[in-house]
Amino acid sequence: MTQKHTGSWAVVVAVALGTFMTSMDINVVNISLPLIQKSFHTGISSVQWIAVAYLLALCSTQLTFGKLADIYSLKKFYVFGSIGFTLSSLLCGISWSIEMLILFRVLQALFGAMMISTSSAIITNAVSPENRGKALSSTAISVAVSTLIGPVLGGFLAESFGWSSIFFINIPIGIVGTILAVRAIPDYAAKPGKKFDLVGSVLIVLALTLLLMPLEFLGQVSIQPAWLVTSLVAGLVLLASFLLHESRSAEPILNLNLFRNRVFAAGNFAATLFFIFEFMLVFFLPYYLQQQRMLSASVAGLIMLPMPLAMMLAAPIGGSLSDKLDSRLIVSVGLGLTSAGALFFGTFGADTPIYLLLIVFVVTGIGVGFFQTPNNSAVMGNVEPENRGIGGATLSTMRNTGMVLGEAIAAAMFSFNYNRATLKYTAQGFQGLALRQAAFGEVMWIICITAACFSLAALGLSLIRGKAQRGKFTGPETVFDDDQA
């Protein structure tokens, strides 16, 4: 027996639109930071908090909102998040000071976390198991499309209509998305007797903030080592306290029993490792194209375009195949391609033919698409219906943590190794452009090798996780027997 919901694909469209909006907001804002800095006559140390505060709030609160949504209503939290994100975008656009803009960005991130933490659970509930991978690929496509048009759209809007327009663009998207969500997403009764774990919520928010905040500044020369160590140690202590509290809580915000399922546990940690890999490359490759090959930012963007395009095309194919085949096979092929792509990137120099760059970008993009959707489908398919909100929030938190770690690791490795390589090649008689290219080439190889190791580690986890059980958990109310060995 398979439980289906009327208009399930309308649910997918509604959630995909929300995913697109929240993902695009990151890209359009980041490229507009110089204009915002100029408008408010402030320094880069202040304006960078527009991005950092958003990311910290987004990462640290998803477990909280996922648990609350499981208790009360996935639909209500998603719709409330969509309305709030739209309104807070308006407030960001009319901000009269840098402090107010940062405050409204935090508010925007909180509402965005409500949407992100519930999106996978909503889709998983809405579609039948045989279509789960295909449906979940919609979120990967939304991210890819936002990556494609975000920087271009953000630059155009900010230069043509002012930086406020990058926030105002969310308003019509948010209105349409909210209307679709209200009409399409099915609602289910609240779970009486369930209690919210306030202590656990406070502990995880503080722990993730203290752990992730110093990592955002890790590549900066001016960072104070004492502050870095203190924040990380305090974050680790709070994280340990959170896990201890959750293990004893009757109504935990994070159900640690979920990690007893090998597919769920390995899929989540594989996602973290994968996004460390991806964002190491996302951070570093623009520097290669602009500083090593001396290309303009616009040309560099065009050259990188095949990667998100290939991802956008591969994600639904990977999702569809994972609905029919063992998802470990699809995931392993994807991670094999991304690992090979990273190794090839590490060998590229200032004179590498452009066509080789394009080929590797396409291959890497296919690998990304083949990993994300089947892995998400396997993870969410192995979560009981009553825990899908927290299951999706856990996956999103692990993913966003990987993003932060990837950028931080790449920035720190770049800063340390470039200075070391410069001294090394200076002693060998290199000067000027030849010196910069030699030092950069060595750093690129080190970073790409490290990124490939993270991708291969994700591959290893995916291979040992066990076979995903597509038929075990289906709709929001009915649990079906596993019909697979």
> Which residue has better confidence, 75 or 466?
75
Same domain for 53 and 177? yes
pLDDT at 381 over 90: no
Q: Which two tokens stand for residue 233?
A: 């140690």
pLDDT at 325: 76
| Nearest Cα to Cα of residue 403 among 45, 20, 26 | 26
> Which residue has better confidence, 466 or 51?
51
pLDDT at 317: 86
pLDDT at 106: 92
CB 347 within 8 A of CB 340: no
Q: Which two tokens stand for residue 369?
A: 């698409």
Counting the structural domains of the chain, the total is 3
Same domain for 471 and 366? yes
pLDDT at 456 over 90: yes
pLDDT at 270: 92
pLDDT at 83: 94
Query: Does some domain include residue 482?
Result: no
Interval 172-221: pLDDT, tens: 989 998 998 888 888 766 565 567 778 888 888 888 888 877 776 665 55
> Which residue has better confidence, 234 or 126?
234
Where is average pLDDT lowest: 77-91, 121-135, 462-476? 462-476
Same domain for 139 and 104? yes
**Residue 470: how many CB atoms within 10 A of its CB?**
25
> Which residue has better confidence, 213 or 478?
213
Query: Does some domain include residue 471?
Result: yes
Interval 406-435: pLDDT, tens: 877 887 788 778 788 888 888 888 788 788
- Is residue 61 helix, strand or coil? coil
Q: Domain residues for 56?
A: 1-192
Same domain for 173 and 214? no
Q: What does the alpha-carbon distance between residue 359 and residue 337 come to, in Å, rounded to a whole number? A: 12
pLDDT at 191: 63
| Residue written as token pair 């500083």 | 291
Length of the chain counted residue by residue: 485
| Nearest Cα to Cα of residue 464 among 261, 263, 257, 260 | 263
Q: What is the CATH number of the domain that holds 408?
A: 1.20.1250.20
pLDDT at 147: 66
Query: Does some domain include residue 88?
Result: yes
Same domain for 166 and 276? no
Same domain for 167 and 223? no
CB 144 within 8 A of CB 308: yes
CB 461 within 8 A of CB 269: yes
pLDDT bracket for residue 132 (50, 70, 90): low
Query: Does some domain include residue 66?
Result: yes
Average per-residue pLDDT in the chain?
80
Q: Is the dihedral of CA 394, 172, 146, 326 positive or negative?
A: positive
Query: Does some domain include residue 485?
Result: no
pTM for the full predicted model:
0.76
Query: Does some domain include residue 13?
Result: yes
Q: What does the alpha-carbon distance between residue 16 and residue 26 come to, in Å, rounded to a whole number? A: 16
Interval 97-118: pLDDT, tens: 889 999 999 999 999 988 888 8
**Residue 88: how many CB atoms within 10 A of its CB?**
23
Same domain for 280 and 336? yes
pLDDT bracket for residue 171 (50, 70, 90): very high
Query: Does some domain include residue 379?
Result: yes
Query: Among 192, 208, 225, which residue terminates a domain?
Result: 192
pLDDT at 327: 79
pLDDT at 485 over 50: no
Q: What does the alpha-carbon distance between residue 380 and residue 373 come to, in Å, rounded to a whole number? A: 11
Q: Which two tokens stand for residue 452?
A: 């490939």
CA dihedral 79, 263, 332, 340 (to 10 degrees): 70
Percent of the chain with pLDDT over 70: 86
Same domain for 369 and 438? yes
Query: Does some domain include residue 484?
Result: no
Where is average pLDDT lowest: 116-125, 134-143, 249-258? 134-143
> Which residue has better confidence, 55 or 366?
366
Same domain for 437 and 454? yes
Give the burial class of 309: count Cβ atoms within 10 A of its Cβ; 0-12 exposed, 13-18 middle, 19 or more buried. Answer: middle
> Which residue has better confidence, 383 or 485?
383
Same domain for 186 and 121? yes
pLDDT at 402 over 90: no
Same domain for 385 and 241? no
| Nearest Cα to Cα of residue 288 among 431, 444, 422, 432 | 444
pLDDT at 1: 32
CB 63 within 8 A of CB 394: yes
Give the burial class of 367: count Cβ atoms within 10 A of its Cβ; 0-12 exposed, 13-18 middle, 19 or more buried. Answer: buried
pLDDT bracket for residue 342 (50, 70, 90): very high
Mean pLDDT along residues 19-27: 79
Interval 40-99: pLDDT, tens: 887 766 777 887 788 888 888 888 888 888 778 888 889 999 999 999 999 999 998 889
CB 227 within 8 A of CB 339: no
pLDDT at 476: 45
> Which residue has better confidence, 123 or 470?
123
Mean pLDDT along residues 315-322: 82
SS (H, E, C) 198-248: HHHHHHHHHHHHHHHHHHHCCCCCCCCHHHHHHHHHHHHHHHHHHHHHHHH
Q: What does the alpha-carbon distance between residue 270 and residue 376 come to, in Å, rounded to a whole number? A: 10
pLDDT at 214: 78
Same domain for 126 and 226? no
Interval 275-294: pLDDT, tens: 899 888 877 787 788 777 87
Q: What does the alpha-carbon distance between residue 452 and residue 475 come to, in Å, rounded to a whole number? A: 37
Mean pLDDT along residues 160-175: 88
